[in-house]
A and B are shown apart, each in its own frame.
Chain A
C-alpha cells in the first residue's frame, strides 16, 4: 500500500501538533494554538486531518471558566502500531506498540545471528508474519519495523550480520518502512515517547546491560552522531590508568559498572560466590546479586553500589557535556537493582552537576527496563509515522 513520505525538511506543523498532544496527554485546540504558536485556523485544519487519519481523537470535554466546554484531544492509541525487533546474541525480541508507545504484544524467539545465521532477512520476514498473526494485528495498520542491535566493537564491525543489506531486503519484502538503529539509542527514544517527555527537554537515557550505552533526544529527535554511534557512554574513561578495555582505551566505565563487570567482581569474591548461586549466564547471575542487594544483603549491596558510584562519575560527565535536564535509567540491569543506581546518580548529580543550581536533573527508572530496546525500536516507527521529520536510518 502507499505510504506517506517522511519530509526531508525539519518537523512540520503536523508533526509539531502531534508531538504536543502526545506530551500533554490531552489538550484543547485553544491550548494547542498557544503552545505551538500556530493560528487557530491552521490548528483546526491540522486537527481535522489527524482525526480523519485516526491518529488523534476527541476525548470529552473539560470545564471552562468561560462557560463553553473545551473539547480535549488525545492520541488514539489503538489505531496503528509500530514493530520493533531487538537482535540479541542468540535470541530475537519482537515487540508491537500502539501509538502511545504502550506494549500490545511481545515475544522472544531463539535466533542465531552469527556466521551460521544463514538467510537472516528471510527468517526475520517469517518471524514478522508469525508474530503479527499470533497477535491478530492487521498488516495495513502496521507503520513499519525497526531492527536494533548493539553497536559492533572497534575491529569487529564485519563480524555481525550486514544489517544494511538486511534492512533493504526486509523493506522490499514486507513493503513497509524498515529502519536500523543501535539498541541504547532506540531505548532512549522509547522512553522519550512513552513517558510523554516534552520536546523542550534535553533528555537522555542510560542503558545498563552486559555493556553500557546511552541515548540522547534533543528537540524531540534522537541524536545519532556521524555514524549512528553516538552515546557510547560505556567507553567514557573514568581512570586514565584503569582496567584495560577491548576497545583499546583504559578505565572505560563499562569495565566497572556493567552487568558483566559486577558478575565478574562477585565471582572473584569467595564469600559472595560461596553464598549466592552465581553459575549460569551473566544475566541470571547478575539478577541473583541484584535481588540479594535490594533484600538486605550488605555485601551484595556494596558491590552494586560501588558499580553505581563508578557509573555516576561517567554520567555526571555526560550530563555536564550536554546540560541534560532529565535522565532515565533502563536496560536489564535496572530491572531488579535500579533503585541503587538511581539513588547514587541522584546524590552524585545533586552534588556535582555543573548546572545543579540552574535546574534540577531528574533521574528516573524505566517502567519496562528489560524490553526497553525493542520497545524503543517500535516507538521509533510510531514517531516516524505520526510525527515525522526527525527520523533517518543508519546505513
Chain B
C-alpha cells in the first residue's frame, strides 16, 4: 500500500469551464508544486460550483485529515473562510492583502500600487480620461485596484471612469459600452479575457487601438500576446508567486508564526495596444 500522501488543499469555487480560461491559476499551481513536490507534499485542487460547497470541502478535509493545510483565494471583506479554517485548526495561507486575513499568513501582491502604476503609465502617455474595467466588487483585490487607480488619478489630475465586470468576455463587452459613454482615451482591464472583449467592442464602434483608445490588460497571457493589436499588459511572475505561497504554506504547516510574504514586483510590458 502507498504511504499516506501529505497534501495541501486548494478549492476554487467556479464553473469547471472557467478554470480552463484562467491561466493565472495554472501558473500559480505550477509554482506551488515546484516547491512542494520535492518535499513530498502534493497540491490537491478541487473545483466546486459555489462558496457553500467550498466550505463543506474544508469541513470534510479536516474531519478526515485529508489535507495538512489549505490555500485561500479570492477573499471578500469579512470572509467567513478565515474563521472556518481557524476553527478547523487547518494551517492556511491567504493569497491576498493582509488586511483581509485576520492574522493568517498572506502572500501579497500590492494591487493598489500596480493600479497606480497603470494609471501613471497612461498619464505619462498623455491620457486624461481613463476607463477602468474591474472584476467583481465582492473581491477585496478588486476594491484595492479601484481605490489605487482612483487615488493616482486624483493625484495626476486624470479623470477616471469605472465599470464592473465578472472576468467573462460577455461582461467585458457590456462594461466597455458603459465606459465609452464617458469618452475615455484609454481602458485598463482586470484580466486578459475582458481586454479582448474591449478590443472587439472598440472595433465595432469604429474606434482604432491605440489611435483612438489605448488598452492595458491585468495579467499577461498568450491571449494578450496573440491579440490584434498585441495587448500591453501588467505582467506578474505568477509561477514565482506560487513558489512563495508554497514556502509560506510549509512555514505554516511547521507551526511558524504568521507572516506577510511579499510577491515579486510586477511590470508593465508595453506592446501595440498603447500609444
Chain A residues in the interface with B (C-beta under 8 A): 77-78, 91, 97-98, 100, 102-110, 122-123, 126-127, 130-131, 133-136, 194, 284, 287, 291, 294-296, 334-336, 338-340, 342-343, 365, 367-371
Contacts of A370 in B (CB 8 A): 26, 30
Contact residue among B9, B20, B46, B223 (Cβ-Cβ distance under 8 Å from A368): B20
Size band of the interface chain B makes with A = 35 or more
Per the bound structure, the CA–CA distance linking A237 and B129 in Å amounts to 55
Per the bound structure, the CA–CA distance linking A338 and B226 in Å amounts to 9
Per the bound structure, the CA–CA distance linking A238 and B53 in Å amounts to 52
- Would you give 6 A-B contacts (Cβ < 8 Å), ordered by A? A102-B15, A104-B46, A130-B2, A335-B27, A335-B30, A370-B26
Contact A295 B235 (CB under 8 A): yes
Per the bound structure, the CA–CA distance linking A204 and B223 in Å amounts to 20
Contact B21 A108 (CB under 8 A): no
Distance of A367 from chain B, by nearest CB (Å): 4
Distance of B89 from chain A, by nearest CB (Å): 18
Also in contact, A104 and B5, with CB within 8 A (given A294-B225, A368-B20): no
Contact A368 B26 (CB under 8 A): yes
Contact B42 A107 (CB under 8 A): yes
Distance of B12 from chain A, by nearest CB (Å): 10
Per the bound structure, the CA–CA distance linking A102 and B47 in Å amounts to 9
Closest residue on chain B to residue A284 by CB atoms: B34
* Mask: chain B, 48-71; 1 = CB below 8 Å from A; 0 = not: 010000000100110010110000
Also in contact, A107 and B16, with CB within 8 A (given A134-B61, A134-B66, A136-B57): no
Contact of B138 with A by CB under 8 A: no
Contact residue among A104, A291, A294 (Cβ-Cβ distance under 8 Å from B47): A104
Contact B1 A133 (CB under 8 A): no
Contact A296 B269 (CB under 8 A): yes
Distance of A372 from chain B, by nearest CB (Å): 11
- For window 32-46 of B, CB contacts with A under 8 Å fall at 33-34, 37, 40, 42-46
Distance of B92 from chain A, by nearest CB (Å): 17
Contact of B194 with A by CB under 8 A: no
Contact B66 A133 (CB under 8 A): yes
Also in contact, A335 and B226, with CB within 8 A (given A103-B20, A108-B43, A110-B37): no
Contact residue among A102, A123, A130, A335 (Cβ-Cβ distance under 8 Å from B26): A335
A-B contacts besides A104-B16, A108-B43, A134-B67, 19 pairs, CB < 8 Å? A97-B16, A103-B20, A105-B44, A106-B29, A106-B44, A107-B42, A122-B1, A126-B2, A127-B5, A133-B64, A134-B7, A134-B9, A294-B269, A296-B269, A335-B23, A335-B30, A340-B225, A365-B226, A367-B23
Contact residue among A102, A335, A343 (Cβ-Cβ distance under 8 Å from B16): A102
Per the bound structure, the CA–CA distance linking A320 and B20 in Å amounts to 30
- For window 5-19 of B, CB contacts with A under 8 Å fall at 5, 7, 9, 15-17, 19
